[in-house]
Amino acid sequence: MSLTDMRTTTEHAVGRVEEVPPGEGRAFVAGEVQVAVFRLRDGSLHATQAACPHAGGPLADGQTDVDVLVCPLHLYAYRWSDGAATSGAAAVRVYPVREVDGLLVVEV
């Protein structure tokens, strides 16, 4: 068994879907982890760590499109698919998120 197999995750309801307007993000706490949850204009949900690894910028305030999240401080862009920075900088952590009965559920 590898260390990856031994990791456990927990799902946390962090808020209601309507708390995050389409095209925007909001900061929440999932367990003891600060996360930023986004609802894109296409209706898809995404979640990342709350602070940019570059300079601690509030990622929930970033700009989004279907492919990337852009940090509001220094415009570093991070891919939704894997959290990698398009510039080669340190990646952000991405978390599974889904809607359950109107609630945002994040797995950390």
The residue range of the domain holding 66 is: 14-99
* Beta pairing class for 94-95 and 77-79: unpaired
Give the pLDDT score at 6. 58
Interval 22-61: pLDDT, tens: 999 999 999 999 999 999 999 999 999 999 999 999 999 9
Average pLDDT over every residue of 74-96: 96
Give the pLDDT score at 1. 41
Under a CB-based contact definition with an 8 Å cutoff, are residues 37 and 15 in contact? Answer: yes
Q: Structurally, how many domains does the chain consist of?
A: 1
Q: What is the CATH number of the domain that holds 85?
A: 2.102.10.10
Is position 75 within any domain? Answer: yes
Is position 95 within any domain? Answer: yes
Is position 108 within any domain? Answer: no
Is position 105 within any domain? Answer: no
* Beta pairing class for 63-64 and 68-70: antiparallel
* Helical (H) or strand (E) element with 3: helix 3-6
Is position 26 within any domain? Answer: yes
